Amino acid sequence: MNDQQLLRYSRHILLDELDIEGQEKLLAAHALIIGAGGLGSPAAFYLASAGVGKITLVDDDTVDLTNLQRQILHTTERVGQPKVASGKATLQKINPEIEIVALNERVSGGRLNELVASASIVLDCSDNFATRHAVNRACVAHRVPLVSGAAVRFDGQISVFDTRRDAPCYACLFPEDQQFDEVNCGTMGVFAPLVGIIGSMQAAEALKVIAGIGEPLAGRLLLLDARSMEWSSIKAARNPACKVCGHVHL
């Protein structure tokens, strides 16, 4: 790190748990963020400001006026622009030293696999089960840790899925063949700061996993009811019969 970097990241370097060594791990890391919306905005903000060396933002959507109530990467004058271009412009202003890759596409199949394989960590900031399952499959296949978040109305949830340790994958908790009601904020609404809370926690968990700090939320699902601001923590074990990770050996 040069003198400017030592200054920029000094409040991280002061942390015993992080230090120069941890900050160097962040600078060497590649975070793949699926979704540049409500959750992806705060997550990307903190990963960029904290100095994650390479961030790939993936989203095929454009900025809409209805997004601006909570998707803080974007601005009024960028309505109509691709979200990833808007996100990249914001992030690069905060930290011009890191590399931001903006992919204006909906990734799946081989393309998704390729991207996940190149990442140190994946943040699922999407808003639908099909994407969540596809991202989970790719993360299990390439043994890349996944930080998963969701938020709708006043209800939020977050967990870390990391099959490098004895912990469940997303499909252990939410099997692919089980029908869940697809609830999204487009029809149900979402409380603006809720996505900020959950997205910021996704960034915190991602930074912890990259730097090897503390205990990540692997094997635990946190649920937030923002009406009462009550958190519940559910312990989740690996399902040996899971169709996605059941065959993966520790």
Q: Where does this chain bind Zn ion (CB under 5 A)? A: 169, 171-172, 242, 244-245
Q: How far is the CB of 237 from Zn ion (least distance, A)?
A: 10
Active site residue 245: no
3 SS3 class: helix
Alpha helices (runs of H) in 50-108, residue ranges in sequence order: 83-94
CA distance 169 to 32: 18
Cβ contact 86:104 at 8 Å: no
CA distance 18 to 219: 23
- The residues facing 155 across adjacent strands are 152, 225
CA distance 117 to 141: 9
- Nearest residue (CB) to Zn ion, 60 versus 176: 176
Q: How far is the CB of 247 from Zn ion (least distance, A)?
A: 10
CA distance 233 to 192: 23
Q: How far is the CB of 242 from Zn ion (least distance, A)?
A: 3
Tally of CA atoms within 13 A in the half-sphere of 156 that contains its CB: 27
Tally of CA atoms within 13 A in the half-sphere of 66 that contains its CB: 6
- Nearest residue (CB) to Zn ion, 76 versus 180: 180
Of residues 139, 185, 242, 245, which has the active-site annotation? 185
For residue 130, which of 194, 35, 208 has the smallest C-alpha distance? 35
192 SS3 class: helix
Give the chain's end-to-end CA distance (angstroms, integer). 35
Cα dihedral 125, 147, 31, 106 sign:
negative
Q: How far is the CB of 163 from Zn ion (least distance, A)?
A: 7
Q: How far is the CB of 173 from Zn ion (least distance, A)?
A: 8
Catalytic residues: 185
